[in-house]
Amino acid sequence: MSNAEQLLQQREKRIQDAIALKKPDRVPIVSMWDFFPAKWKGYTVKDVMYNFQLMSDLWVECLQHFEPDLGDNPFPLRGFGPLMDILDFQHLKWAGHGVGENMSYQFVELELMKADEYDHFLFDPSDFMVRRYWPRVNKAFAPFETLPPLNQSISYTWGLYNAVFLLSPEMEAARTALIEAGKASAEVLKWTAAFGKKMAEMGFPPSSGGFAQVPFDTLGDVFRGTKGIMMDLFRRPDKVMAACEKLLPIMIDSAVASARRTGVRRIFIPLHKGLDGFLSPQQFDKFYWPHMKELLNALIREDITPWVLAEGACNTRLEAFKDVPPGKVIYHFESTDIFKAKEVMRGRCCIRGNVPASILTIGTPEDVKQYCKRLIDVCAVDGGYILDAFGPLAEAKPENVQAMYDFAREYGA
């Protein structure tokens, strides 16, 4: 067995042991690198978003230097600069497009599905996506709004006659954009695959093989906007519930397909709108947790490990979250009191995190060590724990990241 294969197996076992609530040979340490590798080596976010060779080289260098127990493939969520340019994508502002050239991209709140469009979505979500969602989120596809309903293509050659709508002059630019976006996507996927191969050759198991969301989050983030969905809870709660139910199998199917395609049986699930304070306990119990639980269970049934990133603070949700089969879910905490989480989830869920953003960004290596010591002492004592930052490293200082890795190796052995 080559050295890389050995490393790959060792690291995967370390992670698997932690997930299964066992005590690994040493405390596993991983990171969501975000754009850290670029900043670490003096490049801007824009540099790497548009130069895939550079992105690949820097991320390889970063993995080789820090040697985390999982590798983080930057391409799917960082390498889409050219693609977003072609689409004239509206849901993000990114380096050089609305935010500075050295800034991570930021989400833009939009109401891409109007309050009176729930029925359209519920009747035919695919038609809604192509004729309403796409034209609004991708300005380059604006003319698709004028297409006839996609389901009016039944019988003989009827569907093809409808293709006449694709021939208008204003459609020509949209058609070109669609083809160019397809090519740009293929390029991202090519680099994603190549980087995946490279990680394996270096002995790094991949952190995840796809992405899923709790339906309420998707409905809020992608379709209705935060304000929209919060008001819908009062104005049209039945529609919210119906839309969440419609989205649930779509979320499950696409995550399972993604895990199969990539061969990586871990799925990343960031939580956005079920956090402390964002929903009342009653709203959480009704609109959030049941679908979340079913999503987790469905993935577990497919032998996939959900890696749940609980953004913000989720102190009041821990009791609900732990109601999953033991040793099958990773809960990654951002600002939740992870020490309390350990108490609640001991013997039930693997926990991951959570060196705070403030310490990594503006603290000192000594601050980092102190916090990591506490994490290892309290959370790793009986296994079931993975050391990580609060979330994506973002503006973390390199010396602090170094301190986190050095300390974990030294103290977590």
- Give residues in contact with other proteins (CB under 8 A): 93, 98-100, 103-104, 106, 108-109, 226-227, 230-231, 233-235, 277-280, 283, 311-313, 334-335, 356-363, 367, 390, 394-396
| CA count, 13 A, side-chain hemisphere, 300 | 18
- Tell me whether residue 70 or residue 359 sits nearer to other proteins (CB atom): 359
Residue 277 Cβ vs other proteins, minimum distance, rounded to whole Å: 5
Find out whether 264 and 209 touch, Cβ atoms under 8 Å. yes
Pairwise CA distance, residues 244 & 284, whole Å: 13
In whole angstroms, how far apart are CA 155 and each of 39, 159, 160, 366, 376? 57, 8, 10, 71, 64
Residue 173 Cβ vs other proteins, minimum distance, rounded to whole Å: 29
- Tell me whether residue 230 or residue 241 sits nearer to other proteins (CB atom): 230
Residue 235 Cβ vs other proteins, minimum distance, rounded to whole Å: 7
Q: Which of 222, 330, 324 is nearest to 266 (CA)?
A: 330
- Tell me whether residue 341 or residue 359 sits nearer to other proteins (CB atom): 359
- Phi then psi for residue 378, to 5 deg, are -90, -45
- One-letter amino acid at 27 equals V
- Tell me whether residue 85 or residue 311 sits nearer to other proteins (CB atom): 311
- Tell me whether residue 117 or residue 395 sits nearer to other proteins (CB atom): 395
- Tell me whether residue 98 or residue 159 sits nearer to other proteins (CB atom): 98
- Tell me whether residue 21 or residue 368 sits nearer to other proteins (CB atom): 368
- Tell me whether residue 27 or residue 360 sits nearer to other proteins (CB atom): 360
Residue 285 Cβ vs other proteins, minimum distance, rounded to whole Å: 13
Pairwise CA distance, residues 351 & 21, whole Å: 9
Residue 34 Cβ vs other proteins, minimum distance, rounded to whole Å: 10
- Tell me whether residue 225 or residue 327 sits nearer to other proteins (CB atom): 225
Residue 236 Cβ vs other proteins, minimum distance, rounded to whole Å: 11
Pairwise CA distance, residues 363 & 404, whole Å: 12
Residue 390 Cβ vs other proteins, minimum distance, rounded to whole Å: 8
Residue 72 Cβ vs other proteins, minimum distance, rounded to whole Å: 18
Residue 95 Cβ vs other proteins, minimum distance, rounded to whole Å: 12
- Tell me whether residue 59 or residue 390 sits nearer to other proteins (CB atom): 390
Pairwise CA distance, residues 189 & 76, whole Å: 7
Residue 56 Cβ vs other proteins, minimum distance, rounded to whole Å: 25
